[in-house]
Amino acid sequence: MIRILTVEDERAISNLIRMSLEKAGYSCTCAYDGAEAAELLEHSRFDLILLDIMLPEIDGFELMEYIRPTEIPVIFITAKARVEDKVKGLRLGAEDYIVKPFDTAELLARVDVVLRRYHKDQAVFEAGGLVIDTCSMQVKKDGKEIKLTKKEYDLLLLFVQNPGRALYRDTIYEHVWGGEYQFGSKTVDLHVQRLRRKTGWDGILKAVNKVGYRLEV
């Protein structure tokens, strides 16, 4: 199982991140200051670190100097939105930089991208009677392959990685198609309809009124 270390001193945010990661199938360990994180890194192995900057004891920038030799990928999650801070974080070696407040679906998508980059993403998902192999990008039901387009596959993976979570249409669009969602566009709805037909997910891929869709598994 993929192991992720979250270093965040605000307990409410830390708990939100932990619950989101665990729902997506990751193992999550939480540290609440830089010194605690450094101690955990001495004795445990992690595949990814989600790191705040403004931390007690040792701040995120200082901790990054300690993390860098381990070659563990890092995503900064911080309220520091200045361009100078983003540039500093990225130059220190972070893979990504997320500014608070953030959407958990976006966070999970960015986590997925970084893990794929390091070939540490979860290889196989099972949900709603489907087996999804992310290495071969094959989707099977009862042993038979379901042919999906690239967009349908990306849409499927987004729902599988966010089970039980209501995903807004604009979040879905930005993750699968990129760019900004245009209000009134039927692109997401049409692709969801096709995905339901191909997967037999009419009963579990539910519409959420005035929001978007939720996968109930």
Same domain, 85 and 172: no
What's the whole-model pTM score? 0.60
The domain total for the chain is: 2
Same domain, 26 and 109: yes
Domain that holds residue 168: 148-215
pLDDT average, residue stretch 21-39 = 90
pLDDT number for residue 22: 85
Query: What is the Cα–Cα distance from 77 to 94, expressed in whole angstroms?
Result: 11
Locus of tokens 């209501």? 166
Look at residues 102, 117, 132 and tell me which one is the last residue of a structural domain.
117
Quick check: 166 pLDDT over 70?
yes
* pLDDT: which is higher, 37 or 164: 37
pLDDT number for residue 15: 95
Query: What is the Cα–Cα distance from 148 to 151, expressed in whole angstroms?
Result: 8
What's the one-letter identity of residue 188? V
Q: Of 109, 213, 98, whose CA–CA distance to 157 is shortest?
A: 109
14 assigned to some structural domain: yes
